[in-house]
Amino acid sequence: EVQLVESGGGLVQPGRSLKLSCAASGFTYSNYVMAWVRQAPTKGLEWVASISTGGGNTYYRDSVKGRFTISRDNAKNTLYLQIDSLRSEDTATYYCAKDPGITGADYFDYWGQGVMVTVSS
């Protein structure tokens, strides 16, 4: 059974940093592109970033470029999202999501339960 379990969220002051983690199991993690998708309270879904199987290629939405860093550790079956210079508009539930493609199909067949990030002073 595919499982994605996020952690690392919480209440953070504007301008501070946070690192989210996603522990994957139930599939050959290193074979799949992975992504982060977020959802602001009462809002819709927004793709944030994706990373290739080996981690050498990363992709970001324009609004987070330079502040967010997606990475992965294939030995630990774990996906990460480093978020720097947090802003109030980053407040959202962040979902870890598995892409069904080895090269990136850019849709998501499994999702974690999500982790909440609240940016407030």
Partner 1 sequence: DIVLTQSPALAVSLGQRATISCRASQSVSISRYNLMHWYQQKPGQQPKLLIYRASNLASGIPARFSGSGSGTDFTLTINPVQADDIATYYCQQSRESPPTFGGGTKLELK
Q: What residue ranges bind partner 1 (CB under 8 A)?
A: 37, 44-47, 59, 61-62, 95, 100, 105-114
Tokens encoding 79:
């996906």
Q: How far is the CB of 34 from partner 1 (least distance, A)?
A: 13
Would you say 74 or 110 has its CB closer to partner 1? 110
Would you say 17 or 105 has its CB closer to partner 1? 105
Would you say 77 or 111 has its CB closer to partner 1? 111
Q: How far is the CB of 49 from partner 1 (least distance, A)?
A: 10
Query: What is the rounded distance in angstroms from the CA atom of residue 94 to the CA atom of residue 49?
Result: 11
Query: What is the rounded distance in angstroms from the CA atom of residue 92 to the CA atom of residue 45?
Result: 10
Q: How far is the CB of 9 from partner 1 (least distance, A)?
A: 14
CA distances from 83 to 59, 71, 97, 102 (A): 14, 11, 17, 26
